[in-house]
Amino acid sequence: MNVFRLNPNYHILVTGGAGFIGSNLCEALLENGNQVTCLDNFATGKRENIAPFMEHSKFNLIEGDIRNLEDCQKACNEVDYTLHQAALGSVPRSINDPITSNDVNVSGFLNMLVAARDAKVKRFVYAASSSTYGDSKNMPKVEDIIGKPLSPYAITKYVNELYADVFSKTYGMETIGLRYFNVFGRRQDPNGAYAAVIPKFVLQLMRHESPVINGDGAYSRDFTYIDNVVQMNIRALVTENQEAINTVYNVAFGERTDLNELTTLLKEYLSTYDPKIAHVQNTYGPVRAGDVPHSLASVDKAKNLLGYEPKYDIKTGLKEAVAWYWENLRN
């Protein structure tokens, strides 16, 4: 993977580095020759995601919690840059347990900002969320026009942006927020009550089980393959454009796919491995509370200021993801 002009001498902290996105970032950075510290408490991250890195001479795991300031301070020690991915994701999870989501996503985020500030980290790049757009009807979503949040999770991610803005203005920190739009790809967990839709549907189809679609399948998302996300994180690290710093960006491909189209594509690609999958029928259930009907990003700002060039559309990304899942989930 081309990680552009990132200096291999830099030491980079990835919080949530054992998670889906975090482990892919760790992998890319190690391939580039960087020193990588991973901070994770394994609440949602998985040891198998970082198992290939554990013997790497430039990889260091700190098992800790961002809710503990001392853990954050230890992780930020002698670090050049921070990629903050640690969070409790999922709108339904936040509706069921708003207190824990707030503790991790807001208090934990603030701890990391303070630790990075005190350690004089050069730049703090963090995972923001498309959920920040809330009830905004604008399509496509443009960074400076948002609505009211529709879930506790969305509130926490918006508060992150507010805190980052205050820290950049008050303490002179360099921060960049990346509003992820429905990221998918290798290592994304298909199990559990809060599994994302693509790995969940893939696993169900591989078992010849009907995927349960919330609503009539017309809800749509700007599904974003993991390698596009890795590219954006690295571009946010390396940019020297002062206009590109202390702001937020959409991270997406810039096209939307509804859930009916998604399941059709998944069946098509999976049936090349198992023809029976093509005949699995969909099941339709109630709409989930807090769900936004449609999501589509404008990525013009990222292209103009960071040189973002998303390489993977939904079809290209799904073929890659399906191949990975078939190889890793059959047993």
**Three-class SS of residue 173?**
coil
The segments of the chain whose pLDDT lies below 70 read 1-4, 290, 331
DSSP E strands, 112-246: 123-129, 175-180, 183-184, 212-214, 220-221, 224-225
What is residue 331's predicted lDDT score, i.e. its pLDDT? 62
Fold of 11-185+226-254+295-312: Rossmann fold (3.40.50)
Burial of 144 (0-12, 13-18, 19+ CB in 10 A): exposed
Give me the long-range contacts of 58-63 (CB less than 8 A, separation at least 24). Answer: 58/30, 58/33, 58/34, 59/26, 59/30, 60/35, 60/36, 61/17, 61/18, 61/37, 62/37, 62/38
With contact defined as beta carbons under 8 Å apart, do 251 and 181 qualify? yes
Q: Could you give the residue numbers annotated as active site?
A: 153
| Dist. CA 252–CA 297, nearest whole Å | 6
Residue identified by tokens 């394994």 is 42
Tokens of 36: 């990588």
- What does the pLDDT read at residue 101? 97
Across 252-307, the runs of DSSP E, i.e. the strands, are: 257-258, 283-285
Contact 25, 226 (CB under 8 A): no
Cis preceding linkage at 140, omega within 30: yes
Specify which residues 176 forms β-bridges with.
Answer: 125, 247
Round to whole Å and give the CA distance between 327 and 148.
41
- The reported pLDDT for the residue numbered 22 is 98
Question: Which strand (E) or helix (H) includes residue 13?
Answer: strand 11-15
CB 71 within 8 A of CB 62: yes
> Tokens standing for 265?
């594509």
Which pLDDT score, from 0 to 100, does residue 4 have? 59
Parse the chain into domains and list their residue ranges.
11-185+226-254+295-312
For tokens 């349960």, what's the residue? 212
Query: pLDDT value at position 289?
Result: 73
